Homo-oligomer: A and B are copies of this chain.
Amino acid sequence: MDTNKMLDEKLSRRGILKGAAGAAGIAALAMGGLGLFSNAEAKGGSTEKWPWPYEKLDPEKTAELAYNEWYRVFCGAAVISSVFTQLRDKIGEPYKSFPIDAYVFLEGGMVGWGTVCGSNAGANIVANCIIGPRIAGPECENGAAIGADILEWYSETKLPSFTPREPRIKTKIIQTTSNSPLCHVSVGKWMKESGYALNSPERRDRCARVTASVAYTLVKDLNAWKDGTYKQRSAWKPASNMGITAQQNCNECHGSNIPTPPMAKK
């Protein structure tokens, strides 16, 4: 995000919050002073100070953990678990207080609805919890950047890209490219090309390996961020470039008849 937009949002946020204090009784405002204030300071969120302490993790080990955890908590929670359980051991809080298992519901693109693949959601949760949200300041913007990188990488990569050392399924698991971060599209294309059903052991192991692949890539990015060498790879800015929040595969749903969103007056 460019600096002007950030500044605009910060200013508008302050203005708007003044209104909110009257309407909704948010007691926090008086503590905001003239500068930015964090929700942590205002409301006592003890884990809302960023970045969270982080130690570099082994991508391969993390991917193996994610693969195995898939069979316990499925895609989204498995990505979170693969990173946060290691950081619970290495660091402790705030990772011990994070309710990893609550995120089982990310399975099947959110309770089976086929929306965003849970491993993408889990990776975004991890990156944004560790590095922080963009509203917490420019130094926290890499959380959303790493999350966006994962969505783009997931969409463009032949997955699964990671093969566990001891796969539970010995059958060859083919790789497919989803062109989408959505569970329905990703799983559907793989099922179509492989011929395996949703409840087959092969499809399940495919998703466990996709989860591991995402965890591997996530930790590589987090390690680069820790080293100060991370640079955002993804450049997808649909809101400003397309006029609507969107993926990049317009034709898949719209065919050649892609609607033009109403645009703001210049």
Contacts and interface: CB of A to CB of B under 8 A. Distances in A.
Contacts of A34: none
Given A24-B65, A245-B187, A199 B264 contact: yes
Interface SS majority for chain A? helix
Contacts of A69: 20, 24
Contacts of A104: 128, 133-135, 144
A129 B98 CA distance: 10
A165 to B, nearest CB: 7
B111 A148 contact: yes
Nearest to A62: B24
Given A113-B151, A197-B243, 20 more contacts: A16-B168, A24-B64, A39-B73, A39-B81, A45-B96, A48-B102, A73-B133, A73-B135, A102-B143, A103-B125, A105-B127, A108-B238, A110-B120, A110-B124, A110-B147, A112-B245, A113-B246, A116-B116, A192-B259, A196-B262
Interface of A: 12-13, 16-17, 19-20, 23-24, 26, 38-40, 43-48, 50, 61, 64-65, 67-69, 71-73, 77, 81, 85, 88, 94, 96-105, 108-116, 120-121, 124-125, 127-129, 132-136, 143-144, 147-148, 151, 164-166, 168, 181-184, 187-188, 191-192, 194-200, 236-239, 243-247, 252-253, 255, 259, 261-264
